[in-house]
Structure 1
Amino acid sequence: MQYRKMGKLDVEVSALGFGAMRLPINGDDSSNIDEEEAIKMIRYAIDNGVNYVDTAWPYHQGESENVVGKALKDGYRDKTYLATKLPIWEVEEEADLDKYLDKQLEKLQVEKVDFYLLHALNAERWQKIKDLDIIEWGEKKKEEGKIEYLGFSFHDSHDVFNEILDGHDWDFCQIQYNYLDTEYQAGMAGLKKAYDKGTAVVIMEPIRGGWLAQEPPKAARELFESENEERTPVEWALHWIWSQKEPGVVLSGMSNMQQLKENLETASESEVGLLTESEFEMMEKAAEEMRGPITCTRCEYCLPCPEGVNIPENFFKFNQAKLLDKGEKMAEEYYEMDETARASNCVECGQCEPQCPQNLDIIDLLKEVDKYFADLAS
């Protein structure tokens, strides 16, 4: 395992961090985690040099923190940094702050969280943080020893990112960053600004919810092969980030042991400057061939839908159909889904849209998905 500095902090983290948002599950219910396999994977990662485990209140519909807590028993807590996040959207009053933190410490079975984030900040939530003096509360928790480092994760425009980054002397931040999203949300400019300020940067969505792990479109595939025929899509995506000096730990949400082992091997080869200037230029061209029409990362914050619609799966099939020219195959898979899970079952209640960190117009997009597949089937 290779290790990287975390900004101004006196901390070295593994190049690869274990993101506990996409743990192995039983069936199709993301809350039904395969605990035995998930614990085995987390411990295997730590045994092989990973020293940063990231979870959050809503992951796996509230079950991720419980499983991570069990995985870190038997001495594993002492071998890794632990990160979790305050669900700002659930906070209505100051009393909620201690309520959620204490409940998280209980679920995780720990006395302290090393890296505590104010979760999924945008302009509206930033205002709430100021109104409720949440930063002051967080600094107090650091003094009390319940939190070691205070930071935030982010999903909004670059201007909002700058405002939040400049609004406090943060220990660290967490941003969505991959070779498709260089100009999206905080983007490359935000990464560089945080680095220049000495604020450690945690990278999420390096594979963009699995989108960058699949076989790329023909035009992009030919570009990759022109530089290196041996590298896999995942290796290209991860080395693109690790080749840059600014990122700290890169989180990957791994769902099976094979993914974990492959990522560990890739991380062992990582270093700043590994990719050449020519390869960076090639990936910029490839990115133009890789962007799907819907920027869903399959984070599942929108779930559970009260009607049972599997929103991320609908969007994934739509993106596959449009970008990879798999319309007929994806239409077939769409109609093989349980009827309640299809886009057509949306009743436009709107519960999902405020939860989406990508700020997608989910209701309108579900209508577009259903019409597209209905037209193909007619």
Structure 2
Amino acid sequence: MQYRELGNTGIKVSEIAFGAEFLVERSYEDTEELIKVCEANGINFVDCWMSEHDVRSHLGRAIKDNRENWVIQGHLGATWQNNQYVRTREMDKVIPAFEDFMQRFQIDTLDFGMIHYVDQIEDYEEIMNGPFMEYAKKLKGEGTIAHIGLSTHNPDIGLLAAENPEIELLMFSINPAYDMFGAMDDIEEYRKEDAYDNELSSSNPQRAELYELCQNNGTALTVMKGFAGGNLLSDETSPFGVALSPIQCIHYCLEQKGVNSIFVGVKTPEELMESLKYCDATQSEKDYSEVLKNAPKHSFEGQCTYCGHCVPCASEIDIAMVNKLFGLAKNHDEVPASVQEHYNNLKFNASECISCGDCQPRCPFNVHIVDVMLDVQDLFGF
């Protein structure tokens, strides 16, 4: 198992982490077995957004003896009402639900108190300017939580959070399918049968910008939905028409700039071991580019996916970053000032391309990189 530091927090966690989403209506013995497999294989990071009482109690009991070895993400705003999960911002529900979490986990301090599931701008603004954030800051001031985080599926929210110094960790949904989309304020949009139309043929540069921003700002970035709810693991349900392996999905996520760890949601120790094979996988087993290149649906031919296979560049240009900025800018009437500034600050830009073409045979998607560099110069001015 490899470990990465969570942004600027100084905390090191396993690249593969454990998500608790499939522990509902499971026995304590099932939970304990999964936790023991985690511990035996070096996993030291767990996220529990689930509000169901037994999930919290079972996890707390299972990790109690080794609590000092675990880093825990718990969520503010995930409540249990009338025997079902409810996301809420009502403080008379939020506070007792969080206190219940701490009691059932048998802990005095939570490593990351996560502002739970923020996908709408209005919700984000109300949280940041209201009693919800005041409560989170109070908990941090008292030492009840060590760090404040936020979970979202919307890159617009992610960009706001990554710019907010009070948010130290962002949990975001990342996988090759979701990364084709821009901002959405409803996670259900990703699941619609007609969502992946023919216009979706490359990674969305806004999401790449978010990952870059997290890395530059030192905002920890953890991954949820790495398998797209399991859809990517089957030919029948994959939007590409072909399955990726857990190893390929994990590698895709961990290759994105700024990413520190991916939470895998599993039902059994056997499923967990399939993900843990990543630790000993070869580069060919990790490589997802050939799968996407030959996918029967949603061709990536000629489209940069920012995979980085094109390097090294003789002129030391960050080709993937130049492509990202080009993608962000080209659909506007004028280049956005923030994108132009980012391009201006690149150490090496498109004008330094010597048109050697060495990068092009390495691109699995046959992008005409030299031509792109010329287009970039025309758009950005150099």
**TM-score category of the 2 structures, normalised to the smaller one:** 0.5 to 0.7
Secondary structure of 1:289's aligned partner: coil
Q: How far off its partner does 1:243 sit?
A: 3.0
Kept in 2: contact 1:181–1:187 (CA 8 A): no
Match of 1:136 among 98, 116, 134: 134
Structure 1 CA distance for aligned equivalents of residues 171 and 35 of structure 2: 21
Amino acid at match of 1:289: K
The reply on whether 1:282 has 2:290 as its aligned counterpart is yes
Ranked by relative contact order (alpha carbons within 8 Å, sequence separation 6 or more), the top structure is 1
Q: Does 2:85 align with 1:77?
A: no
Answer whether contact 1:18 1:252 (CA < 8 A) is retained: yes
- Deviation, structure 1 residue 236: 1.4
Q: Which residue of 1 aligns with 2:88?
A: 90
In structure 2, stretches of 5+ residues that fail to align are 79-86, 184-205, 300-382
Task: Provide the C-alpha distance between the structure 2 equivalents of 1:52 and 1:136, rounded to a whole number of angstroms.
Answer: 26
Q: Output the CA distance in 2 between the equivalents of 1:195 and 1:249.
A: 13
Matched residue, 1:190: 210
- CA-to-aligned-CA distance 1:252-310 (integer Å, 9 cap, x gap): 0011111111212213548xxx5799x5643544677379xxxxxxxxxxxxxxxxxxx
CA gap of 1:218–1:199, structure 2 versus 1, over 3 A, is closer
Map 1:117-196; keep pairs closer than 5 Å. 117-123=114-120, 124-156=122-154, 158-184=155-181, 185=183, 187-196=207-216
Distance 2:275 2:285 in 1: 21
The 2-side partners of 1:219 and 1:87 are apart by 32
How does 1:1-378 map onto structure 2 within 5 Å? 1-23=1-23, 31-58=24-51, 61-73=52-64, 75-87=65-77, 89-93=87-91, 95-123=92-120, 124-156=122-154, 158-184=155-181, 185=183, 187-215=207-235, 233-269=245-281, 274=283, 279=287, 281-285=289-293, 289=297
1:21 aligns to what SS in structure 2?
coil
Return the offset for 1:97.
Answer: 4.3
Which residue does the alignment assign to 1:312? none
Q: Report the Cα offset of residue 12 of structure 1.
A: 1.2
Distance 1:262 1:276 in 2: 13
Structure showing the higher helix proportion among its residues: 1
Question: Aligned letter for 1:148?
Answer: A
Q: Please give the per-residue CA displacement for 1:54-85, whole angstroms capped at 9, x wherever unaligned.
A: 10143xx4532122112112x22121111111
Aligned-partner SS, 2:117: strand
Query: What is the DSSP-based 3-state SS (H/G/I as helix, E as strand, rest coil) of the residue aligned with 1:117?
Result: strand
How much is the aligned-residue C-alpha RMSD, in angstroms? Answer: 3.0
Gap runs ≥5 in structure 1: 24-30, 225-231, 292-378
Distance 1:287 1:181 in 2: 16
After superposition, the Cα gap between the structure-2 partners of 1:133 and 1:220, relative to the gap in structure 1 and judged at 3 Å, is closer
TM-superposition CA deviations, 1:129-154 (whole Å, max 9, x none): 13424333222212212101111000
Equivalent residue of 2:179, what SS? coil
Mapped partners of 1:119, 1:275: distance in 2: 37
Contact kept, 8 Å, 1:8 with 1:200, in 2: the verdict is yes
How far the C-alpha of 1:117 sits from its partner, in A, is 0.4
Once the two structures are TM-superposed, the CA of residue 167 in structure 1 deviates from its matched residue by 3.8
| Structure-2 separation of matches of 1:180 and 1:19 | 20
- Post-superposition offset of 1:44: 1.7
- The alpha carbon displacement at 1:234 in A equals 1.4
| Alignment-mate amino acid for residue 82 of structure 1 | I
Q: Structure 1 residue 183: deviation in Å?
A: 3.5
1:37-58 CA distance string (max 9 Å, x none): 2211112202220010110143
Assess if the C-alpha contact under 8 Å between 1:120 and 1:152 holds in 2: yes
> Contact 1:53 / 1:83 at 8 angstroms: preserved in 2?
yes
C-alpha contact (below 8 Å) 1:56/1:85 kept by paired residues: yes
Q: Which has the larger radius of gyration?
A: 2
Kept in 2, the 8 Å contact 1:177–1:188? The answer is: no
Q: Deviations over 1:329-366 (max 9, x none)?
A: xxxxxxxxxxxxxxxxxxxxxxxxxxxxxxxxxxxxxx
Could you tell me how far 1:190 is from its partner in structure 2? 1.8
Residue type of the partner of 2:61?
K
CA–CA distance in structure 1, aligned partners of residues 298 and 279 of structure 2: 23
TM-score, normalised to structure 1's length? Answer: 0.63
What percentage of aligned pairs have identical amino acids?
21
